[in-house]
């Protein structure tokens, strides 16, 4: 700055004295000397070259102008340089500050990079640690899983072995519940030793004779006929007090219409309509101590008022029903219907003629007396499942589900009874009911 100021001051001083010859730099001096030396040589040419002086003046003037212009340019340059010194100084400061900031930024970057590197290093170390721990945990888990699988496999084997043993035991028990036999089908089921052989073509007949019982018996007669029209069918009566004449007659007609022979077996008690079915069967069998009871048709009128004409009509209907049942029975006995009625009342004043099986055979109420009955159809242990209760007069009155459809009840005096189903208005009951156990609702 000081040197620049001195140079500018010198230029300004020379400009003030008006001495442009002294302004040019030292390099211009040799040119002036050459021109001074060259001047005498031109004078040797004589007077002819004198007019050229004006040219030298112009040249000199041009040189002066040139020098003055150069001086002005230098002055302008110095002025411009002087004017921009502050800007350059400020620029230098800014550059310096920039460099400082750059260095600081670089330093911060280095520090941050160092921190990041440390963090990354720690992260990688932690990751590696966690990876090792995870791998170890996985190995332990795999080991435990293998042990569990081994235990499960061992347990499964034990369970399978136990299950196999249970299955074997159950299979043996099931097999034990079945007899090692097959049903026997004999054209003549009564053996010489007095044994009656009953096949699986048997139809249970128990309880009051109702429409439901008639359905059960007749449908099975039809089924066994369709299956085999030659093998005998057995209607087995354990205990029946008789019942509806209409329902009983349906059973009789199904027996008569069967191509396969239908035999009736009485084990305990057959009365009224059940006795008619026994006596009118193609063949009938009974134990010696089985009880068979015949009596007249009777009818009880409850909750109804009948005039003489109605009573006469009912009487005529009852006579017709009695003729259809009593006439065939009396003919088989070799007596008339009236004689049959007379003999009933000769036995008892109530007309309920009761005979044991062996005496009933003498009266032709039953055809054969048997000492034993071989039920060849009973091939499964009856204790293997809940047995079917045989419905008799002595069955538990509190039962609510009965195969014959009767409804148990208790009257005001505490006596149990069974409610009979509503009968057809033209139907009558041929039933032994001395104690009123069977009642209409």
DSSP of 55-90, one letter per residue?
HHHHHHHHHHHHHHHHHHHHHHHHHHHHHHHHHHHH
Mean pLDDT, all residues of the chain: 82
Element (H, E) at 125: helix 53-176
CA angle 224, 227, 232 (to 5 degrees): 45
Read off the tokens for 203: 């139809």
Give the CATH fold of the 195-440 domain.
Answer: 2-enoyl-CoA Hydratase; Chain A, domain 1 (3.90.226)
State yes or no: pLDDT of 200 exceeds 90: yes
Q: Using H for helix, E for strand and C for coil, what is the string for 189-217?
A: CECCCCEEEECCCEEEECCCECHHHHHHH
State yes or no: pLDDT of 56 exceeds 80: no
Report domain extents, the chain. Answer: 145-176, 195-440
One of 240, 244, 272, 330 is an active-site residue; which one? 272
What does the pLDDT look like over 136-172, one tens digit per residue? 999 999 999 999 999 999 989 999 999 999 998 988 8
E strands, 118-207, are 195-198, 202-205
One of 240, 284, 294, 295 is an active-site residue; which one? 295
d(CA 386, CA 236): 21
Confidence bin at 122 (pLDDT 50/70/90)? confident
Mention every residue, 6+ apart, whose C-beta is less than 8 A from residue 20: 14, 64, 67, 68, 71
User: Which pLDDT does position 390 carry in this prediction?
Assistant: 54
Is 347 in a helix, a strand, or coil? helix
Which residue do the tokens 């400061």 mark? 93
CA angle 119, 123, 129 (to 5 degrees): 145
In the residue annotation, 374 being an active-site residue is answered as: no
**Inter-axis angle of helices 308-333 and 245-257, to 10 degrees?**
40
Output 48 or 374, whichever has higher pLDDT.
Answer: 374
State yes or no: pLDDT of 37 exceeds 50: no
CA angle 297, 302, 308 (to 5 degrees): 75
State yes or no: pLDDT of 209 exceeds 80: yes
CA angle 322, 326, 329 (to 5 degrees): 160
pTM: 0.59
Output 352 or 56, whichever has higher pLDDT.
Answer: 352
Considering only 54-68, 124-138, 198-212, which range has the smallest mean pLDDT? Answer: 54-68
d(CA 265, CA 278): 8
Asked whether the beta carbons of 207 and 213 are under 8 A apart, the reply is yes
- The backbone region for 300, taken as left when phi is positive above 0, alpha when psi lies in -120 to 50, beta otherwise, is beta
In the residue annotation, 113 being an active-site residue is answered as: no
């Amino acid at each position: 700055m000081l040197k620049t100021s001195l140079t500018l001051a010198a230029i300004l001083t020379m400009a003030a004295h008006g001495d442009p010859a002294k302004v040019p730099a030292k390099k211009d001096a040799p040119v002036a000397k050459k021109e001074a030396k060259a001047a005498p040589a031109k004078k040797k040419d004589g007077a002819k070259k004198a007019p050229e002086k004006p040219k030298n003046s112009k040249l000199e003037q041009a040189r002066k102008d040139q020098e003055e212009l150069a001086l002005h340019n230098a002055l302008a340059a110095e002025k411009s340089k002087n004017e921009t010194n502050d800007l350059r100084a400020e620029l230098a400061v800014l550059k310096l500050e920039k460099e400082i900031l750059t260095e600081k930024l670089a330093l911060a970057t280095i520090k941050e990079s160092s921190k990041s590197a440390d963090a990354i290093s720690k992260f990688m170390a932690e990751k590696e640690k966690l990876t090792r721990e995870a791998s170890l945990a996985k190995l332990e888990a795999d080991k435990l899983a293998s042990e569990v699988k081994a235990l499960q496999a061992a347990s499964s084997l034990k369970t399978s072995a136990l299950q196999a043993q249970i299955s074997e035991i159950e299979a043996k028990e099931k097999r034990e519940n079945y007899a090692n036999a097959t049903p026997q089908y004999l054209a003549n089921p009564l053996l010489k030793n007095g044994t009656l052989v009953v096949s699986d073509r048997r139809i249970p007949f128990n309880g009051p004779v109702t429409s439901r019982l008639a359905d059960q018996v007749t449908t099975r007669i039809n089924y066994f006929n369709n299956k085999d029209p030659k093998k005998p069918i057995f209607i087995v009566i354990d205990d029946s007090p008789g019942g509806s004449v209409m329902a009983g007659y349906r059973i009789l007609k199904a027996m008569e219409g069967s191509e396969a022979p239908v035999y009736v077996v009485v084990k305990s008690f057959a009365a009224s309509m059940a006795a008619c079915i026994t006596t009118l069967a193609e063949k009938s069998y009974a134990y010696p101590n089985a009880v068979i009871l015949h009596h007249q048709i009777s009818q009880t009128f409850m909750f109804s008022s009948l005039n003489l004409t109605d009573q006469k009509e009912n009487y005529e209907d009852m006579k017709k029903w009695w003729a259809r049942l009593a006439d065939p029975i009396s003919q088989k006995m070799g007596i008339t219907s009236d004689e049959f009625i007379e003999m009933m009342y000769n036995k008892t004043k109530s007309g309920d003629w009761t005979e044991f099986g062996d005496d009933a055979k003498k009266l032709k109420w039953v055809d054969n007396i048997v000492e034993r009955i071989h039920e060849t159809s009973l091939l499964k242990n009856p204790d293997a499942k809940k047995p079917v209760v045989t419905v008799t007069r002595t069955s538990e009155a509190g039962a609510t589900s009965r195969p014959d459809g009767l409804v148990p009840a208790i009257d005001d005096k505490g006596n149990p009874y069974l409610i009979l189903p509503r009968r057809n208005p033209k139907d009558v009951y041929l039933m032994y009911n001395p104690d009123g156990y069977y009642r209409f609702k």
